[in-house]
Amino acid sequence: MTTKVRSVLYVRLPCWKIYPGGVIYVADYIHKQRPEIDQHLLDLALVPPGDRRRILEERIRSQRPDMVAFSWRNMQSFGPHPEDDALDVVMNFDHSPKLWRRIKATRDAVRIIYDYVASRVRNFSYMRMVRRLLPESRIVVGGTAVSIFGQYVAAKVPKDTVVVVGEGEDTMLSIVDGFENPVGEFFYRDRNGQVTHRAREETFDLANLTAVDFPYIESMFPDFHSYLGDDIGVHTKRGCPFQCHFCLYNKIEGARQRYRDPAEVGKEIEMLNKRYGVKRIWFTDAQFCSTRRSTEHVDKILDEMLARQVNVSWSGYLRLNFLTPEIARKMLATGISSIDLSFTGSQEVIDRLTLGYKLKQQMQAFQMFKDMGFTQQKVKLYMPLNAPGETLETMQATLDKIRELYGMFGRDNVLPFIFFIGVQPKTPVEQLLIEQGYLKPGYNPLSLNPFLIKKLLYNPRPLGRLIGRAYLEAIDSTDPASEYIGRATMDIIERELPKFRNTSAGRKLAAAADTPRRRTVPIQVATPSTDAG
C-alpha cells in the first residue's frame, strides 16, 4: 500500500491501568504534522476483559480506518516486587518450608503464566481480527514491549504489518505518508510474509515535541479523563549514556540524551494542572536527572514549573550525582513526592554493576534533601539485592546504609523495595550469566517454561534462601497497614545474617568472597559518554 492514510485507529493493548503517554505523544505529533488525518484512540486497558474483543470489533466495523496502530507496553512483565503478588508466589515456591504453601504457589504460578500467555495470544488475535475485517488496511505495532521484542513480534503479526522499534513519531509520520520513504527502526512483514528490518539512521529532534495539545487528545480519546486522577506521564528527554549491567533502557532509548524544550515541558504540565486538574506527574524518562547536562536541563524545567506556579506533586527515576542544594530546594518547591532510585549500600556492588556513581556522593545528596526540608516525602529504594557478587559484607553494608537513611528521614518515610535483578535480553548481566552457565546460550527470553521464567528473576542460593525466608516471615508477621513489607524483610535479614554466617553455606560464601575473585564482571563496559560529566 503506498497511498496516504486518511484515518487511524490507535489501539492501546491491555495492561494494568496506566496513562498511555507513548501513544498520545505519537498521535499528537501526527496531528500537528498532518491535521487532516482523522485519528481515534481506543484504550483496551480501560475495557473489561470480557468486552475487549467485541468493542474492538465494533470500532473497526463502524470506523473502518485506513490504518490500525497498536501500542503494546508490557510483554515480559516479570519483575515482581512487594506490590505484585507474583513475588509471593516465587518466594513461596522456592523457599517456603511448608509443603502446602509450595503446592499453592505452584497452582498460583500456573494461573499467572496462563494469564501471561493468554494476554500475548489475545493481542496477536486482535491484530488478525483487524486483518480479517479490513484486508486492505495497514497495521502498525509500536510500544516498549515491541522495542525489546520486535523481532519476535514481527514473526507473529499478520502480513503487511510494520513493527516499530523505539520512538515512534517520525516513523509513524513516514508510514501515514505512504510508507514510500520510511524512517526510523522497524521490522516489516510484507504481503508474502517475509520479514525485513531497517535500522534507524536519522535522529528525531525532540525540539519537535512541543507541548501536547490536550484539547485535541480529549477529542480523539474521550477516555483521557479517566486518567486525570492518576500519575500522568510527562517526557522531558530520551536516552541514557550509562551502562548499568541489568538495564536496557539505554537500548530502548539510545545512549545519547536528547532533550525537549523546557518551556514546552512546563507548558504541558501547566495545562495538565490548570485546565484538567491533574495533581500528579511522573517524569517518564529513563532517568529524570542523571548526567551533568541532564541535571542542568532539570533545573530549567523546575524553573518553568515555578514560574508557571503549577500545583502538582511529581516523581521519576533519579540519580543524584550532580544534585546541588539549589536544585534540591527547587525539587522540593515544585512538589517532589518521592526520591525513587536504585540503591545498594556497597560501593563494591555499585562498581560491579557499573552503576557509575559514588555511594558517598549519593549519601551527601540525601543529606542535601534533608537540609533543604525534605520531611514528609518518601525515599523509595529499588534494591538489586543478591546481584552477582553480593556477599555477606555487601549485604551488611546495605543494611547499615538503610539504617542511616531511617535516621535521616524517619523510618516510616524510607521504603526499601525487595527487588531483584530481572535478567533482560542483550544486557551485560545476561551475557555474564550465560558465561557463568546460569543461563544457556540461545535461551528464549520469552519462554513459557516456568523454571526459566523464575531463573530470569535472579536470586540464587544461598543468599536467595536467606532473603526468601526473611520475606516470607515478614509477610506472615507484619500488618501491611502499620509496617512496610520491605522494611520488615530487611530487619529480619539483619537479625538472621549473623546466624547465617555460622552455617556451612554462610562459611562457604564468606570463603569464596575472601579468595582472590574470579573475574565476575568479564564484560568490557564503556564508560558513560562525556555527557555524563
Determine, following the binding rule CB under 6 A, whether residue 244 of this chain makes contact with ligand SF4: yes
User: Shortest Cβ distance from residue 443 to ligand B12 (Å)?
Assistant: 16
* Contact region with ligand B12 (CB under 6 A), list: 75-83, 404-412, 437-445, 519-527: 75-83
Q: Per CB under 6 A, which of residues 80..99 are in contact with ligand B12? A: 80, 84
140 contact choice in ligand B12, ligand SF4, none (CB below 5 to 8 Å, kind-dependent): ligand B12
Binding of ligand SF4 by 242 (CB under 6 A) = yes
Q: How far is the CB of 503 from ligand B12 (least distance, A)?
A: 32
Q: How far apart are CA 55 and CA 61, in angstroms?
A: 10
Question: Considering the rule CB under 6 A, would residue 463 count as an interface residue with ligand B12?
Answer: no
The letter for the amino acid at 494 is E
Site string for ligand SF4, 328-367 (x = CB under 6 A): --------------x-------------------------
Among positions 253, 268, 299, 304, the unique one binding ligand B12 when judged by CB under 6 A: 253
User: Is 247 one of the binding residues for ligand SF4 (CB under 6 A)?
Assistant: yes
Q: What are phi and psi of 243, to 5 degrees?
A: -135, 50
Show the binding pattern over residues 126-155: x = contacts ligand SF4 (CB under 6 A), - = does not. Answer: ------------------------------
Give the residue, chosen from 42, 69, 350, 414, that forms a contact with ligand B12 under the rule CB under 6 A: 69
Q: At what angle do helices 99-133 and 85-95 cross, to 10 degrees?
A: 140
CA distances from 295 to 257, 269, 300, 419 (A): 12, 19, 9, 26
CA 72/CA 91 separation, integer angstroms: 29
351 vs 100: CA distance, rounded Å: 41
Beta carbons of 314 and 336 less than 8 angstroms apart: yes
- Residue 260 makes CB contacts below 8 A (sequence gap 6+) with 206, 207, 209, 235, 236, 237
In this complex, which beta carbon is closest to ligand SF4, that of residue 161 or of residue 250? 250
Cell 504489518 maps to which residue? 161
Of the candidates 107, 111, 77, the residue with the CA atom closest to the CA atom of residue 92: 107
SS3 at position 405: helix
Q: Which does 88 bind (CB under 5 to 8 A by kind): ligand SF4, ligand B12, none?
A: none
- Considering the complex, state which of residue 8 and residue 432 has its C-beta at the smaller distance from ligand SF4: 432
Q: Least distance to ligand SF4 from the beta carbon of 287, Å?
A: 5
| C-alpha Rg value of the chain to the nearest Å | 24
Q: What share of the chain is helix, strand, coil (3-state, %, to 5)?
A: 50, 15, 35
- Tell which phi-psi region holds residue 166, choosing left (phi > 0), alpha (psi between -120 and 50) or beta: left
> Does the protein bind ligand SF4 through residue 250 (CB under 6 A)?
yes
Identify residues 115-144 at the interface with ligand B12 (CB under 6 A). Answer: 140, 142-144
* Cα 315 from Cα 320, distance rounded (Å): 14
- Select 175 or 492, whichever has its Cβ closest to ligand B12: 175
Which residues within the stretch 182-241 sit at the binding site for ligand B12 (CB under 6 A)? 231, 233, 235
Q: Is residue 165 involved in binding ligand B12 (CB under 6 A)? A: no
Tell me which of ligand SF4, ligand B12, none is bound by residue 365, counting a contact when its beta carbon lies within the kind-specific cut-off of 5 to 8 angstroms.
Answer: none
- Given a contact cutoff of 8 angstroms between Cβ atoms, the answer to whether 332 and 374 are in contact is yes
Contact status: 73 vs ligand B12 (CB under 6 A): yes
The one segment of 78-86, 149-157, 237-245, 433-441 that binds ligand SF4 by CB under 6 A: 237-245
- Contact partner at residue 391 from ligand SF4, ligand B12, none, CB < 5 to 8 Å by partner kind: none
Q: Please give the helix or strand (H or E) that residue 342 lies within, else none.
A: strand 338-342
- Cα 11 to Cα 50, 116, 127, 146, 428: the distances in Å are 16, 19, 10, 14, 34
Q: Which of 13, 30, 66, 76 touches ligand B12 by CB under 6 A?
A: 76
Quick one: DSSP state of residue 16? S
Size of the site for ligand B12 (CB under 6 A): 42
Residue 242 binding result from ligand B12, ligand SF4, none, given CB thresholds of 5 to 8 Å by partner type:
ligand SF4
The whole-angstrom separation of Cα 378 and Cα 123 is 37
In DSSP terms, 281 is beta-bridged to 232, 314
Rounded CA separation 482/479 (Å): 6
**Secondary structure (3-state) at 39:** strand
* Interacting residues with ligand SF4 between 282 and 311 (CB under 6 A): 286-287, 290
Closest CB to ligand B12 among 22 and 345?
Answer: 22
Give the residue carrying C-alpha cell 503506498: 2
β-bridge partners, 12: 43, 71
Cβ contact 401:416 at 8 Å: no
C-alpha 444/C-alpha 371 separation (Å) is: 49
158 interacts with, out of ligand SF4, ligand B12, none, CB within 5 to 8 A per kind: none
Shortest distance in whole angstroms from residue 248 CB to ligand SF4: 8
Our CB check for ligand B12 shows the closer of 27 and 368 to be 27
109 lines the binding site for ligand B12 (CB under 6 A): no
d(CA 360, CA 363): 5
If binding is defined by CB under 6 A, does position 147 make contact with ligand B12?
Answer: yes
Regarding 421 and contact with ligand SF4 (CB under 6 A), the answer is no
With contacts defined by CB under 6 A, how many residues of the chain interact with ligand SF4? Answer: 11
**Which chain residues interact with ligand SF4 by CB under 6 A?**
240, 242, 244, 247, 249-250, 286-287, 290, 319, 342
**Which chain residues interact with ligand B12 by CB under 6 A?**
15-16, 18-19, 21-23, 25-26, 69, 71, 73-77, 79-80, 84, 140, 142-145, 147-148, 164, 167-169, 171-172, 231, 233, 235, 249, 252-253, 282, 284, 286, 424
